[in-house]
Structure 1
């Protein structure tokens, strides 16, 4: 697996943050929990997903997490939930549905460093699938997450992206492997079944 070059983190990293990103980050912090839904910072600005995740979305995330943890080493976790994954110098703050990350990197405060993730998994939104298929596909390569998997309950299909490489438009995934629900899918080094995953009604 290939990781994109890092931008650094901590106090020295914050000195390289753009004023625009700092403004957006401050705005999100000031809003706190007063705004419903999920707020993320992308290469194109703030994304506000007001949709409450449906049961098929949450069921898929939980099943993928559980199936991965059955085959992964004990020192890794398929985490669902907070905090965000943030690359402030890169101008991106996202929250994957499932994050494959070492337990040791869960410790501490603040957002996760994207370069500690082994893989990110998203369950495509019914209302805004382009956020997963376009925006996050771009952003996860830019911030150096080596493997990105999408499960799409709208169609019962998905894809796994890997092999980050440089392009004129910035880092992008070079390899895409599509799958259909019912097949086995390999995410990073682990293969799981997609049998029984739900579709959106």
Structure 2
């Protein structure tokens, strides 16, 4: 395993990015630049795990699959790693997946850089055609579900503890944020 923190700053091609292999950090490729993030906090991981558990039966019933942290090629030279995804069938031996398999991408807002998840990734996911985008903000204790409308997202639903989020696409499930947020 290579540590991305020791990689030189320079312009990276997609093949060079893929040659890095597995690392202890989360690395995304954006137009020749590497974006390196540390492993998510325990609270972040708790939400992602509970979300996956809450959706497991609905995802299976819909004939879809759920994952945490897959490399998704939004376009050549632009690979992102959403916190949680619902996809169609994938080849489990691949290391990068085309955006066409993604039905829902979810980002759990990082307190150090909320604009990345709330604005930048939203823009790129919409541009790439991901039908549904879920943004979970642990600090605000809110969930916002967006549906693709043309090349932009429109808010479809929101939720907070005690006010569940009801999804009908890409899976049918009701989730109360209170069940997913870490204990205080």
What RMSD in Å do the two structures reach over aligned CA positions?
2.6
2:74·2:124 contact (CA, 8 Å) conserved in 1?
Answer: no
- Check 1:87–1:67 CA distance in 2 against 1; reply closer, same or farther (3 A cut): same
**After the TM superposition, which of the residue ranges 135-144 and 185-194 deviates more from structure 2?**
185-194
- 1:118 matched to 2:106? The reply is no
Map 1:11-90 → 2, pairs under 5 A: 23-29=12-18, 31-33=20-22, 37-42=25-30, 45-50=33-38, 52-72=39-59, 73=61, 75-82=63-70, 84-89=71-76
Q: Which residue of 1 aligns with 2:173?
A: 191
- Is residue 147 of structure 1 aligned with residue 132 of structure 2? yes
* Matched residues, number: 170
Unpaired runs of 5+ residues, structure 1, are: 1-21, 166-170
Deviation sequence 1:32-79 (CA, Å, 0-9, x none): 456x522212369542223x3111110100111111112231621221
If asked which structure has higher relative contact order (CA below 8 Å, sep 6+), I would say: 1
Partners of 1:129 and 1:61 lie apart in 2 by 17
Displacement of 1:177 in angstroms is: 2.7
Please list every run of at least 4 consecutive aligned residues from structure 1 whose deviation after the TM superposition is greater than 6 angstroms: none
| Alignment partner, residue 173 of structure 1 | 153
Secondary structure of 2:178's aligned partner: coil
Alignment CA distance shift 1:180-1:56 (3 Å): same
| TM-score, structure 2 normalization | 0.78
Deviations 1:77-101 (A, max 9, x none): 221233x001333x42111111101
CA distance 1:181–1:44, change in 2 (3 Å): farther
Are the equivalent residues in 2 in contact too, given 1:122–1:149 (CA < 8 A)?
Answer: yes
Q: Distance in 2 between matches of 1:172 and 1:46?
A: 25
Structure 2 unmatched runs, 5+:
1-10
